[in-house]
Each structure stands twice: as C-alpha cells, then as structure tokens.
Amino acid sequence: MLQLISFLIHGIQPFLVPICFVVAWTVTILAVLSLWTAARDSVTTAKQMHQIPCSGCQFFTDNYRLKCTVRPSIANTEEAIHCLDYQPKTNPYLY
C-alpha cells in the first residue's frame, strides 16, 4: 500500500507546479473580481441613496420618532425618491 502511494506521489509530482500555479492565479483573479463587484455595487447603492430628497424637504423633522409629518412610513427610504409631497425648505438654516 505504501509503495502504491509513493508511486502516485512521484507520478503526480511533475504536474504539481503547473497545477498550483493555475490554482493560485485563479484564486487571485476571483478575489480581485469579487472586490471589484462589491465596490461597484456599493457605488451604485450610494448613488441611489443620495437621490432621496427627504433631508431637504420642509416636512422632514430630523426626529427619529417622526421623520416626516406627511408620509412617515416612506421617509428616508427608496420609496421617497419620487415623493409627490416633497416641498423644498424655504429657509434651510431654520432647522
């Protein structure tokens, strides 16, 4: 049994370096692609979140209990991007 294992190891040995080379580069490329995809998705999400107009609306209260006096259920969510009740603050320095 030991001779069979020794024979297999010596038979595979010339192929180990190329196999390890390919596996190492594959893992490296997959890690870079994963990081790139995560960064791209983060930028897309950030761009969408910056479209939420709630902080510039006159009905936004900056209170964690009641964020919006008109539509509190959608305040600071993606649903508020095209809110029909949005009114810009008349004096942004008031609050």
Average pLDDT over residues 50-65: 88
pLDDT exceeds 90 at position 8: no
User: What are 60-86's pLDDT values in tens digits?
Assistant: 888 888 888 898 889 888 999 988 888
Task: Identify how many contiguous H helices and E strands the chain contains and give both numbers.
Answer: 1, 0
Q: Are 70 and 57 in contact (CB under 8 A)?
A: no
